Amino acid sequence: MPKLSKKQTRILEIIKNSQDEHGEAPTVREIAREIRVKSPHAVSHHLDQLEKKGYIRRSADTSRNIILVSTKDGKPLPDVIKVPLVGWSSGGVGILAQENVLDWIPISTRFLKQDADVYLLKIKGGSMSPRIEDGDVVIVKKQYTAEPGDTVVALLGDETTVKKYIPKEDHIVLQPENSDFEPIMAFPDELRIQGIVKGVLKYY
């Protein structure tokens, strides 16, 4: 790996410490305070160099957009992407609206493709158990259409629901997997599909 200046080595340490202690990367201004420089542009220059040298990767979707891909000793780290964790939509706020993003979660590209267009949603309720249970986090592919039998995240009015999508001749059935819950009937113009569930993250 290309050699680092003392300032660049220090910046890598700051990034790693922030991720270890807080679970997220520092902002440019936070790095500037740590290395005692007044101009964020000076930090941005060092970050540009670190990215060119292969120590970090950055995206444009958040101010905490720095991902470590190598240690200061040049050892590779697991490649990860940051995926938005969104809240359950209610009261007219769209599920994918920026103000509905609760956090950015790092996930290894061993499980998701680098260009995967996905988001995470924490499940509320037990209508899809036992496959998807209350508190599970589902990986959702962003798309606005579905095939029969897909498990969809959808807005029905202003409320979010996760159900199996079963289209009929003149209406749609949103089918729970738990027999304790009743199916939901909706007309196509009442339903807005927000994505297809592609995986489940369970915590024990």
Sign of CA dihedral 118, 122, 128, 131: positive
In the numeric block, which tokens belong to residue 115?
């260009």
Instruction: Mention every residue, 6+ apart, whose C-beta is less than 8 A from residue 141.
Output: 116, 117, 118, 195, 196, 198
pLDDT at position 1: 63
Strand-pair partners of 137: 122, 201
Question: 72, 82, 89, 127: which one is catalytic?
Answer: 127
pLDDT at position 105: 79
pLDDT at position 96: 72
pLDDT at position 103: 80
Going residue by residue through the chain, which has 204 residues, state the pLDDT in tens, using 9 for 90 and above.
678 899 999 999 999 888 777 767 889 999 999 999 988 999 999 999 998 888 888 766 566 778 777 777 777 666 667 788 888 865 555 677 777 788 877 777 766 776 678 899 989 889 999 989 998 899 999 999 999 999 999 988 878 899 999 999 999 999 999 999 999 999 999 999 999 999 888 765
CA 134 to chain centre: 19
pLDDT at position 196: 95
pLDDT at position 94: 67
* Whether 127 is catalytic: yes
* Whether 5 is catalytic: no
The structural domains of the chain, ordered by start, are 6-77 (1.10.10.10), 82-201 (2.10.109.10)
pLDDT at position 92: 55
Question: 18, 72, 89, 163: which one is catalytic?
Answer: 163
Query: Largest Cα–Cα distance in the chain?
Result: 68
